[in-house]
């Protein structure tokens, strides 16, 4: 009989104390890779994201897309027994993930310094807005604040109109979730050499700043502040822009290389623009107007069909419905589903990475609040009578 294929993070135990998006996205990636993720939630309502609209039946749609492959334990960390239960769980954990403001876990006696005394191999990852130290460490904030203060928000918008609210949570996911998951995986590799865990301090503000490498070059090396619509790759260049078509739909023209630009100009009958790929000033606006008028003369799909043989970086601006129905996304299994005990069959976004030997899998639906409380507590030594007592005392 062939042996079942293991998953990349089989055997790794993760305690997730976070709420909302950054921590949930991070721990779901770890869970999809095979980690045993225990979501620890406050008894009275749990993760705030459970109630965010839109709701499916009883649970938030965004919660259902961020919490598969996890278990849920309710635990009141303001009680002494709640703290003791977390300490017991941490003794056998590989990773603890939290998203409280700096100092909160220390006041509870549950900081890295406290828990690492009992489990020196524990990797303790704290995702915060501004990090564990520095003048802004205690400031409240969300994605928009971190984007603004990292110098990233000014990259979004039209020339001369100021910044806009980005449509994706770039600081939360790009600066928080992805940085934290990468850092945790690296810390696990380091622990394999040192046999010691460590504190991983993830700042969403810092993480967002690292995404500026391309645009910071303007400021660092040319003294130019890049702003939305005013630099080549953020809305200025005619060859790298978005154009409306006759049906109100849009196409994205993403040309950088000269040979692609030459092909485009020949294909659409604008050969005089071939030697002027990167115009500036009034010439830039005139070229954009000419291309805009051109695309406005046909529907989106007509243009895609007409230019299909040109082999250029041109694609449709898809709605979310269109994107998940696209044949390529379907082929890559980017839309999946799972059966939930209350919500029924629910859609799930697929895995972005495909492994040849340790594939990701949906092993369980997002958990009900506290669904695994009794199971988890029994595994660390509580009998049923003790569990019921904890419930009466509102520890769980």
Q: Which active-site residues does the annotation give?
A: 142, 172
End-to-end Cα distance, the chain: 43
What is the rounded distance in angstroms from the CA atom of residue 240 to the CA atom of residue 234? 8
Phi, psi angles (nearest 5°) of residue 96: -120, 130
Phi, psi at 358, each rounded to 5°: -130, 70
Of residues 377, 381, 389, the one with CA closest to residue 74: 377
CB-based contact 130:141 (threshold 8 Å): yes
DSSP 283-338: HHHHHHHHHHHHHTTS-HHHHHHHTGGG--SEEE---HHHHHHSHHHHHTT-EEEE
Identify whether the C-beta of residue 306 lies closer than 8 Å to the C-beta of residue 298. Answer: yes
Distances in Å between the alpha carbon of 89 and those of 15, 216, 281, 340? 8, 43, 62, 27
Cis peptide bond N-terminal to 311, omega within 30: no
Q: SS3 breakdown of the chain: % helix, strand, coil, rounded to 5?
A: 40, 15, 45
Helix 178-194 × helix 20-32 angle, to 10°: 50
Contacts of 392 (CB under 8 A, 6+ apart): none
**Which ranges of the chain would DSSP assign to H, the alpha helix?**
20-32, 61-64, 80-91, 104-107, 112-118, 143-149, 178-194, 204-209, 213-222, 258-268, 281-295, 300-306, 320-325, 327-331, 373-379, 384-392
């Amino acid at each position: 009989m062939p042996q079942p294929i293991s998953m990349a993070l089989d055997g790794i135990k993760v305690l997730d104390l976070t709420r909302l998006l950054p921590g949930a996205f991070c721990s779901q990636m770890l869970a999809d890779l095979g980690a045993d993720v225990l979501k620890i939630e406050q008894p009275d309502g749990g993760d705030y994201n459970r109630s965010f609209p839109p709701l499916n039946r009883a649970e938030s749609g965004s919660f259902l897309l961020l919490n598969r492959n996890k278990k849920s334990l309710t635990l009141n960390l303001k009680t002494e027994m709640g703290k003791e239960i977390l300490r017991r769980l941490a003794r056998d954990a590989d990773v603890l993930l939290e998203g409280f403001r700096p100092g909160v876990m220390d006041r509870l006696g549950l900081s890295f310094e406290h828990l690492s005394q009992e489990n020196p191999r524990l990797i303790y990852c704290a995702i915060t807005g501004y990090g564990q130290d520095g003048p802004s460490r205690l400031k409240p904030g969300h994605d928009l604040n971190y984007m603004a203060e990292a110098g990233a928000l000014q990259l979004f918008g039209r020339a001369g109109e100021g910044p806009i609210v980005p449509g994706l949570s770039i600081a939360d996911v790009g600066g928080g979730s992805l940085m934290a998951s990468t850092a945790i995986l690296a810390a696990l590799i380091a622990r394999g050499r040192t046999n010691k865990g460590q504190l991983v301090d993830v700042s969403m503000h810092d993480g967002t700043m690292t995404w500026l490498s391309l645009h910071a070059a303007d400021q660092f090396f040319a003294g130019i502040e890049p702003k939305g619509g005013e630099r080549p790759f953020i809305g200025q260049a005619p060859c790298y822009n978005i154009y409306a078509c006759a049906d109100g739909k849009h196409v994205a023209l993403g040309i950088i290389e000269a040979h692609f630009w030459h092909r485009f100009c020949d294909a659409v009958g604008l050969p005089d623009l071939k030697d002027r790929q990167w115009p500036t000033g009034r010439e830039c606006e005139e070229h954009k107007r000419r291309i805009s008028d051109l695309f406005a003369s046909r529907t989106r799909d007509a243009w895609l069909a007409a230019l299909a043989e040109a082999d250029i970086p041109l694609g449709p601006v898809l709605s979310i419905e269109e994107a998940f129905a696209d044949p390529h996304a379907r082929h890559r299994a980017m839309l999946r589903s799972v059966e939930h005990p209350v919500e029924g069959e629910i859609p799930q976004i697929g895995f972005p990475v495909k492994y040849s030997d340790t594939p990701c899998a949906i092993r369980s639906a997002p958990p009900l609040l506290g669904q695994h409380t009794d199971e988890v507590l029994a595994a660390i030594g509580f009998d049923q009578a003790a569990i019921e007592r904890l419930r009466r005392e509102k520890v769980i």
